[in-house]
Amino acid sequence: MRNIFTALFALSASPALAASGPFFSLGNTNFVVLIAFLIFVGILMYMKVPGSIGGMLDKRADSIKAELDEAKALRDEAQSLLASYERKQKEVAAQAERIVASAKDEATKAAAEAKKDIATSITRRLAAAEEQIASAQAAAVKDVRDQAIVVAVGAAKDVIAKQMDAKSAGTLIDDSIATVADKLH
């Protein structure tokens, strides 16, 4: 601080020494300006302007410090919120992975169940088809037998008609009646 005052006095003294005439006279403008300056500084000191300026600067420094503290608190709160959201995001991602895994498992189980159901359905259809084939085969065999019986009866009728005379026919009728009577009783 002393160095500043020394430098100011050195700078202010050189123009004062360059003025013409005695320095301490009211005719010297440099001396008048110096006195006006000192009076101005005195008035400022009397009115306590440096103290009020210092107070204003202190107030401003306090408000800046309060703003900085508030900003720091907001920053800390924002960081805690960010950390909270990051945790929630990780939890949601983990939950999404669990849901996807569960869905895959369910899809795999559903596919296996569908395959099993299809295999059961195919087995039932094959069994039904085999039953239909067996039924159709039995019907065909019955039709063939019936047709064979009809043909055999027709052939037997023709053979018997050619070989049959009235006496053989009477004997055959009597034997048939006796057989029927035995079976009915």
The answer to whether the beta carbons of residues 19 and 10 sit under 8 Å apart is no
Q: pTM here?
A: 0.39
pLDDT computed for residue 166 by the predictor: 73
pLDDT per residue rounded down to tens, the chain (185 residues)? 555 656 555 555 555 455 566 777 777 888 899 999 999 999 999 999 888 999 999 999 999 999 999 999 999 999 999 999 999 999 999 999 999 999 999 999 999 999 999 999 999 999 999 999 999 898 888 888 888 888 888 887 787 777 777 777 788 788 888 888 888 76
Give CA separation, 141 vs 128, 133, 134, 147, in Å: 20, 12, 10, 10
CA dihedral 175, 177, 179, 181 (to 10 degrees): -150
Reduced to 3 states, what is the DSSP secondary structure of residue 26? coil
The answer to whether the beta carbons of residues 160 and 173 sit under 8 Å apart is no
